[in-house]
Amino acid sequence: MSIGISLLFIEKRVEAVRLCAALTEPFATGSVPGHEADLLKDYKLISDRLKNSLDELKESDRHLAADKSIEPGEVRNGKQRVQTIVQEIARCAQDFAAQVRFFQAMNPASAAGAVPFLRLFEEIDRGTRDLIGEDTSPAEGEELAPAETDSPPDADPMLM
């Protein structure tokens, strides 16, 4: 299977996980009554799917770097797609970790049962850091492109 198709399947699985947040949030916040055991099972399923997607994405990234038969343009495109999907995984993991924390705050009696899932989501978020890489964006207040200072002086057309 080509790397593009593999990335597409991973991308769609991560998108499905992101949509699950909208389904579990009302139960986690308590705005919709539900069974805590069912919510914890959902968190288990979601964390497993997210972790599997991250593992597959890491494998795809290694494949992109190692396979010399892939054209440079495809490698560059694949790396960009990997970055986008990794950021989406990180965002999902952070959203679910926040959801679990809210659930723990709203249900102190069941808070201990949600701790393993909070750790799983935090671990997934940390696992995305090695694929995201360093932030190369300019610092706050820094110029995006500093002005050139060594250019020749402008010529006055009237003096020519």
Is there a contact between 115 and 109 (Cβ–Cβ < 8 Å)?
no
Residue that the structure tokens 């299977």 belong to: 1
More confident residue, 145 or 34: 34
> Per residue in 98-130, pLDDT tens?
999 999 998 888 889 999 999 999 999 999 987
Name every residue whose Cβ is closer than 8 Å to that of residue 93 and which is 6 or more positions away in sequence. Answer: 50, 121, 122, 124, 125, 128
Q: What is the pLDDT of residue 120?
A: 94
| pTM exceeding 0.85 | no
Q: What letter represents residue 150's amino acid?
A: D
DSSP 134: -
All domains in the chain, ordered by first residue: 3-134 (1.20.1050.20)
